[in-house]
């Protein structure tokens, strides 16, 4: 009798064993690749490298900038009134004093406005005189009327008193007495009314005259202002200085406030410079600076720091502290060393083009025999035109490659040949 054998069952069927083994081999290979530390090595020509030595020395915290001499103050020339250029009294490069006329303008509309204002003023003055004359005439008439009523009251009072005396002795009729009484009382009321009317009229006239006088004063002021506008057609210098630019031609129409030139204040000079934005947090008013001219050192002080950054640079102004160079002229260039902080001992390396690639985060360091250079992390602090200050990663006596790294920025080891 035959016995049936049970077939063994596997977790992975035999037909998939080859695929499973290949997949496992790939996984093991990937894990091995991930854990391996591959170091790329490149051979380079030593003659094309710039090698610097790490040293501990005095680090001068300064930055060099190109400064340009400019006048201490530049004042804009502009006209407060618009008009047509009638005459150029001064030319570019002319020395002027405060108040000197530079150009004369003409404005026919302003002339017409002056005539109209003066005509209105004359008319207002005539009206005020006529009004005052009329008021004085009315005042005389009202006073005359009040005087007549006062006399009438006295006459009616006498008549009334006479009739009252007769009535007391019964020598007149009751009707005559009452008539005299009524006429007297009416005269008294009329006098009272006329005095009230005179008071009101005087108050009204006084208010009207005051108002007209105020309007007249305003018109006089207006005429004065218009005449002052006429005087401002003569564009004058506001300071003592030299005309640096005068961009006008005869017959040219000038708008109010339009810039037509500048005046340079030559009483003193300042130095303007552009500084890399890397230093914007360290530069402030009051910092000291120096430059040399003809073998003599001159001192400057930061007067103003402009907050706006353009094309990676910001502007600062220096003023002189002490003497100035002889024959100083606008437009001269001085090479200024701006002191940013105190000098002190530090680990330093020469400046080089490697910084543009690494940003100061790593550098190639030569081994003791100088045949290989290894990539190493560092931390750079301050810098001046000659050196970088190294805060971490390097020791005095070591040598580093400070030339550009564009050709081998992704390598770990350099073999120097």
- 91: containing domain: 77-106+233-254
In a domain, 113, yes or no: yes
CATH code where residue 386 lies: 2.40.420.20
Is the per-residue pLDDT at 234 higher than 70?
Answer: yes
**Residue 96 counted as domain residue:** yes
Please check the confidence at residue 5 and state whether its pLDDT lies above 50.
no
293 with 146, same domain? no
User: Using 50, 70 and 90 to split pLDDT, how confident is the model at 17?
Assistant: low
Q: Same domain, yes or no, for 82 and 196?
A: no
Domain finish residue from 339, 366, 400: 339
> Side by side, which strands form the sheet with 234-236?
234-236, 101-106, 83-88, 253-254
Residue 239 maps to a domain: yes
pLDDT digits (tens, 9 = 90+) for 117-158: 777 777 777 777 777 777 777 777 777 777 777 787 788 788
d(CA 273, CA 124): 62
Instruction: Note the pTM of the prediction, 2 decimals.
Output: 0.55
Domain of 272, CATH number, reads 2.40.30.170
Report yes or no on 2 lying in a domain.
no
**CATH number for the domain that contains residue 92:** 2.40.50.100
Is residue 408 a contact partner of residue 414, using CB atoms and an 8 Å limit? yes
- Asked whether residue 244 is domain-assigned, the answer is yes
Same domain, 308 and 394: no
List pLDDT tens digits, range 75-104. 998 888 888 889 898 888 889 999 899 999
Residues 189 and 282 in one domain: no
- Considering the domain architecture, whether residues 304 and 363 belong to the same structural domain is answered as no
Structural domain contains residue 140 = yes
364: in domain: yes
Beta strand ranges found along 330-412 (DSSP E)? 333-339, 344-350, 362-366, 372-377, 379-383, 387-392, 399-401
Q: Please choose, from the candidates 398, 408, 380, the residue with its C-alpha nearest in 3D space to the C-alpha of residue 59.
A: 380
Q: How far apart are CA 25 and CA 19, in angstroms?
A: 10
């Amino acid at each position: 009798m035959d016995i049936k054998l049970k077939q063994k069952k596997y977790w992975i069927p035999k037909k998939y064993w080859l695929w499973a083994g290949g997949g496992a081999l790939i996984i093991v290979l990937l894990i091995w690749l991930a854990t391996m530390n591959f170091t790329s090595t490149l051979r380079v020509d030593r003659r094309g490298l710039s090698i610097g030595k790490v040293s501990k020395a005095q680090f001068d915290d300064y930055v060099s900038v190109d400064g340009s001499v400019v006048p201490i103050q530049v004042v804009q020339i502009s006209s407060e009134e618009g008009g047509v250029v009638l005459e150029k009294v001064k030319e570019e490069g002319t020395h002027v004093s405060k108040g000197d006329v530079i150009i004369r303008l003409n404005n026919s509309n302003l002339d017409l406005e002056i005539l109209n204002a003066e005509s209105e003023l004359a008319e207002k003055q005539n009206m005020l005189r006529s009004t005052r004359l009329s008021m004085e005439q009315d005042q005389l008439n009202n006073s005359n009327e009040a005087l007549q009523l006062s006399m009438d009251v006295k006459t009616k009072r006498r008549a009334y008193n006479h009739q009252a005396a007769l009535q007391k002795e019964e020598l007149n009729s009751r009707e005559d007495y009452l008539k005299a009484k009524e006429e007297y009382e009416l005269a008294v009321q009329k006098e009272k009314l006329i005095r009230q009317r005179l008071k009101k009229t005087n108050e009204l006239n006084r208010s009207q005259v005051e108002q007209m006088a105020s309007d007249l004063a305003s018109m006089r002021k207006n005429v004065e202002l218009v005449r002052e506008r006429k005087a401002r057609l003569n564009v004058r210098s506001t300071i003592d200085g030299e005309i640096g630019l005068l961009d006008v031609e005869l017959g040219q129409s000038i708008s109010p406030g339009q810039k037509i030139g500048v005046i340079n204040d030559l009483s003193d000079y300042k130095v303007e410079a552009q500084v890399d934005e890397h230093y914007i947090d360290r530069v402030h008013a009051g910092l000291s600076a120096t430059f040399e001219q003809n073998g003599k050192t001159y001192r400057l002080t930061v007067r103003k720091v402009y907050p706006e950054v353009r094309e990676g640079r910001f502007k600062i102004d220096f003023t002189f502290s002490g003497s100035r160079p002889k024959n100083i002229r606008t437009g001269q260039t001085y090479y200024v060393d701006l002191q940013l902080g105190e000098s002190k001992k530090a680990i330093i390396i020469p400046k080089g083009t490697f910084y543009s690639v690494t940003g100061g985060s790593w550098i190639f360091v030569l081994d003791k025999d100088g045949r290989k250079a290894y990539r190493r992390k560092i931390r750079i602090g301050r810098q001046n035109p000659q050196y970088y200050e190294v805060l971490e990663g390097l020791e005095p006596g070591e040598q580093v490659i400070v030339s550009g790294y564009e050709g081998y920025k992704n390598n770990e080891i350099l073999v120097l040949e």
